[in-house]
Amino acid sequence: MPIRSLRRVAAAVETWFEAHQRPLPWRRSYDPYYVWVSEVMLQQTRMEVVLRYYQRFLSRFPDVASLAKAADDEVLAVWSGLGYYRRARMLRDGARAVVEWHGGIVPRDVSELTVIPGIGRYTAGAISSIAYGRRTPIVDGNIARIISRLGGIDEPAGSAALTRAAWVEEERLVQACCSPRELNQGLMEIGALVCTPRKPDCAACPLKNYCYAFRHDATEALPGRKIKPAARDLSVALYIVTDRRGRILMRRESGALMNAMMHLPHGDTSLLTGAPLDVTSAQLLGTFRHTITTRRVAFSVYSGELRSTIRDDGEYQWIDPAQLANVPHPSYVDKALVQASL
């Protein structure tokens, strides 16, 4: 059902945000580029992880122009560890489009933002409302959950039905508010800190007086349980192959998962598509577990020796472990090297 008392709800969110907002770095100036980078990083990544990478990324690419000039490997190396690496490439491609089409100035209108590579409806609305103060709605998981509870919308979390309803209600809210910047950030902040998926702190919620779920003791039931894809359990062997100079052998992946990243040689094709390297394993160095999207991987790390010579040909490369921070690689590689004491 539609949310009631729109102006009061919006005012309550804005007042709460002014008093309780976290001192996040992109809130210091609301520079459109900074907001854009933060929103891309926050997609499918927890806030505490993003905060470890955000400033490092901006130190390397302080503006749209510097990011637009960067090569894939430069961007991926700084992004290494954040996961979902396609986001980094699309962000760089988007920066190139902004330089070419808009002279390096991030546009403010959603219609212009959504044609930039990597910017969808949500990110466009976030840049437009948060950086420029425009009355544009945004819906992420936090906002959809709040709207489900406020309006009693009984649809599964993450479902198309809930998403459609949330966009309609958020449009109504953003038209009723005083500050779109504070409304949209306030809703996200309440969703992150108060109206959480489990055990929401309703006593501290500024919206409890307007909330269907609170009145009907249904906060744990709304929204409905999210339908998650089944997780896969994998066991993968990794090989640490070194040359006389102490460099480790790595391979550039060209498949759908973690494309263009540098990986350690794998023992099979269950995780990555590249053909297994012809090595002989000598000693088990250690084991560890790591999650990659919906894959729960048990890695076993072995020392290995090549059966034939490998050249630095772009696919396989010898990498100095001390220079690994400058090489785009997934975070499981770092865990493997710890097992090998490298």
Residues with a catalytic annotation lie at 39
Burial 286-301 (b: 16+ CB within 10 A, else e): eeeebebeeeebebbb
Half-sphere exposure of 257 (CA within 13 A, CB side): 12
**3-state SS, residue 322:** helix
Which of 94, 87, 174, 106 shows the shortest CA–CA distance to 139? 174
d(CA 182, CA 178): 8
**Three-state secondary-structure class, residue 312:** coil
- Would you say 52 and 46 are in contact if contact means Cβ atoms under 8 Å apart? no
Counted residue by residue, the chain has a size of 342
Distance CA 51, CA 99 (A): 26
C-alpha dihedral sign at 76, 82, 83, 88: negative
Question: Which residues, 6 or more positions from 85, have their beta carbon under 8 angstroms from its beta carbon?
Answer: 76, 79, 258, 259, 260, 261, 328, 330
Is residue 107 within a helix (H) or strand (E), and if so which, with residue range? none
Taking each helix axis from N to C end, the angle separating 141-151 and 160-176, rounded to the nearest 10 degrees, works out to: 80
Tokens of 327: 């090489």
Burial of residue 64 (number of CB atoms within 10 Å: 0-12, 13-18, 19+): buried
